[in-house]
């Protein structure tokens, strides 16, 4: 599977981040202990490669990066590069509130063979626009990888404005932005100000098809964790009537995967689909029972098989691992 393994240096096989469906990958954890389940991670990655996922984004918010140790971050990234290297680009989340630490994490991602980084605006500290420019340019100067900016004001408390993005887009290593403002009117503005080569990703699954139809390049997607093939097919031709039908079929997932803070619902959904245990780390917690039916219903509407309820309970309580299901890639 791994073409890159034939080459001595993983960077020699580096791919560029690209449009289409880029999965914001969860980090599977064993129910009970919450240890990272690298076997389940490897299976998920192999399935994404099989399903034609355009890119893998590891160590993001969906991957619970803030509760992983340095060693765990390294091992998650090594696993992703090992499975995907040379076939599907691997982007590592390396953003944090401290510029120097973001540089250190970016350099580590480069050493481990990542194809790019996704760097969120510093959260909580609310830097002004000029300070954001200095922050991102310092990281881009220091880390020899293509960088994707990440704007998610609802989580960070700061909005990276289009004029600021346009200024940053002049840096050779700043190649795109993940926009999660919930405002698709930004697509045209950013396209106009940043040029045709600047990658525009939506961070909102429910608006993703339209974002690409309006001139965006792709989605960094939570839904793609459970429906990778459908997301990729849909985004390849966003205006086709068959893609509009896929979007409708995935609509409940796009919405219900956010009934509690991401990645709570998507980890539960993957558990219900038999792809991993129900582990999740504090300060997050497993999906509350009143939402379980919502997720099962959304999975069924998306044509994803759901395990019987008895298996769900065993996995959730950490009594037994959920039954291993054949990784066929057949179901979405």
Q: Is 178 one of the annotated active-site residues of the chain?
A: yes
Written in H, E and C, the secondary structure of the chain is: CCHHHHCCCHHHHCCCCCCEEEEECCCCECCCCCCECHHHHHHHHHHHHHCCCCEEEECCCCCCHHHCCHHHHHHHHHHHHHHHCCCCCEEEECCCCCHHHHHHHHHHHHHCCCCEEEEECCCCCCCCHHHHHHHHHHHHHHCCCCEEEEECHHHHCCCCCHHHHHHHCCCCCEEEEEECCCCCHHHHHHHHHHCCCCEEEECCHHHHHHHHHCCCCEEEECHHHCCHHHHHHHHHCCCCHHHHHHHHHHHHHHHHCCCCCCCHHHHHHHHHCCCCCCCCCCCCCCCCHHHHHHHHHHHHHCCCCCCCHHHHHHHHCCCCCCCCCCCCCCCC
The active-site residue, picked from 38, 123, 124, 178, is: 178
Q: Which is nearer to ligand NAG, 84 or 250 (CB)?
A: 250
Give least dist CB 54 to ligand NAG, A.
Answer: 19
Q: Which is nearer to ligand NAG, 247 or 294 (CB)?
A: 247
Q: Encoding tokens for residue 319? A: 């009594």
Q: Is 150 one of the annotated active-site residues of the chain?
A: yes
Q: Which is nearer to ligand NAG, 242 or 317 (CB)?
A: 242
Give least dist CB 212 to ligand NAG, A.
Answer: 9
- Using CB under 6 A, list all residues that contact ligand NAG: 210, 213-214, 239
The single residue listed with the structure tokens 């060693």 is: 71
Q: Which is nearer to ligand NAG, 144 or 183 (CB)?
A: 183
Q: Which is nearer to ligand NAG, 43 or 221 (CB)?
A: 221
Give least dist CB 296 to ligand NAG, A.
Answer: 31
Rounded Cα distance between 90 and 132, Å, is 25
Give least dist CB 173 to ligand NAG, A.
Answer: 31
Give least dist CB 198 to ligand NAG, A.
Answer: 19
Give least dist CB 199 to ligand NAG, A.
Answer: 19
How are beta strands 218-221 and 147-151 bridged, if at all?
unpaired
Q: Which is nearer to ligand NAG, 205 or 296 (CB)?
A: 205
Rounded Cα distance between 208 and 116, Å, is 21
The active-site residue, picked from 150, 201, 256, 267, is: 150
Active-site residue list: 150, 178
């Amino acid at each position: 599977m791994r073409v890159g393994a034939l080459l001595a240096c993983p960077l020699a096989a580096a791919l560029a981040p690209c449009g289409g469906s880029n999965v914001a990958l969860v980090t599977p954890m064993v129910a009970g202990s919450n240890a990272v389940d690298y076997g389940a991670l490897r299976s998920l990655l192999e399935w994404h490669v099989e399903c034609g996922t355009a890119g893998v984004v590891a160590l993001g918010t969906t991957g619970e990066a803030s509760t992983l140790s340095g060693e765990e971050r390294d091992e998650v990234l090594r696993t992703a590069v090992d499975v995907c290297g040379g076939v599907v680009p691997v982007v590592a989340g390396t953003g944090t509130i401290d510029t120097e630490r973001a540089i250190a994490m970016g350099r580590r991602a480069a050493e481990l063979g990542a194809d790019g980084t996704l760097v969120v605006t510093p959260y909580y500290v609310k830097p002004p626009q000029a300070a954001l420019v200095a922050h991102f340019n310092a990281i881009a100067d220091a880390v020899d990888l293509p960088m994707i900016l990440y704007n998610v004001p609802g989580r960070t408390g700061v909005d990276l404005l289009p004029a600021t993005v346009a200024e940053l887009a002049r840096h050779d290593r700043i190649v795109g932005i993940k926009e999660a403002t919930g405002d698709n009117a930004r697509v045209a503005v950013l396209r106009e100000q940043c040029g045709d080569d600047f990658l525009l990703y939506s961070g909102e699954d429910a608006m993703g098809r339209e974002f690409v139809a309006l001139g965006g390049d792709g989605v960094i997607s939570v839904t793609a964790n459970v429906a990778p093939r459908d997301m990729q097919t849909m985004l390849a031709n966003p205006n086709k009537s068959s893609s509009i039908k896929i979007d409708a079929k995935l609509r409940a997932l796009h919405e219900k995967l956010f009934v509690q803070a991401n990645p709570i619902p998507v980890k539960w959904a993957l558990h219900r689909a038999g792809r991993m245990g129900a582990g999740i780390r504090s300060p997050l917690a497993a999906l509350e029972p009143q939402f379980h039916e919502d997720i099962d219903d959304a999975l069924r509407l998306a044509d994803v098989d759901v395990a019987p309820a008895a298996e769900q309970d065993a996995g959730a309580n950490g009594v037994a691992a959920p039954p291993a299901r054949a990784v066929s890639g057949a179901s979405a």
